Amino acid sequence: MIEDGYITRDEYEGYINQMHERMRSCFDSFLPEVVPNNVIEQYAVRQGDIFFMCCDGLSDWITPNYILAALTENGIKNGIDKLIPQAKGMSLASLNYFDDITAVAVQCC
């Protein structure tokens, strides 16, 4: 990522220093393998289409159909506000800790 100009060496070191100590070794070995150099995807979108991206802290616990239902029935903001606590609760009940969760949704208008 540094060599391709996505981040600087200082930014990289800052990210490493902010990570939980158990995650630091994963950053060097895992992240470069899963982040491709370039990603270009094109989609034909229509009014009302929803784009949803989340980390595994949510998708490991909640099915795609349930996510879609939560977003369409509750709206984007309220849907995400409903999904995140559910995923945290499921993570806590199963693994005895809160998994980190990132979720982004956009609805085309």
**For residue 4, pLDDT beyond 80:** no
Q: 3: which 2 tokens?
A: 């060599």
Q: 43: which 2 tokens?
A: 């989609």
Same domain, 9 and 57: no
Task: Look at residue 98 in the predicted model and tell me its pLDDT.
Answer: 79
Q: In 1-109, where does DSSP find H-type helix?
A: 9-18, 24-34, 56-59, 64-74, 76-95
Q: 30: which 2 tokens?
A: 């895992």
- Would residue 56 count as lying in a domain? yes
Task: Look at residue 41 in the predicted model and tell me its pLDDT.
Answer: 76
Task: Look at residue 21 in the predicted model and tell me its pLDDT.
Answer: 65
- Would residue 81 count as lying in a domain? yes
Task: Look at residue 43 in the predicted model and tell me its pLDDT.
Answer: 82
**How far apart (Å, rounded) are the C-alpha atoms in residues 109 and 43?**
15
What is the tally of structural domains in the chain?
Answer: 2
Residue range 17-75, pLDDT digits in tens: 777 666 655 655 555 555 556 667 788 899 999 999 999 889 989 999 999 999 999 99
Domain that holds residue 11: 1-40
**For residue 94, pLDDT beyond 80:** yes
- Would residue 19 count as lying in a domain? yes
Task: Count CB atoms within 10 A of the CB of residue 7.
Answer: 13
Same domain, 59 and 90: yes
Same domain, 78 and 55: yes
- Would residue 45 count as lying in a domain? no
Task: Look at residue 10 in the predicted model and tell me its pLDDT.
Answer: 87
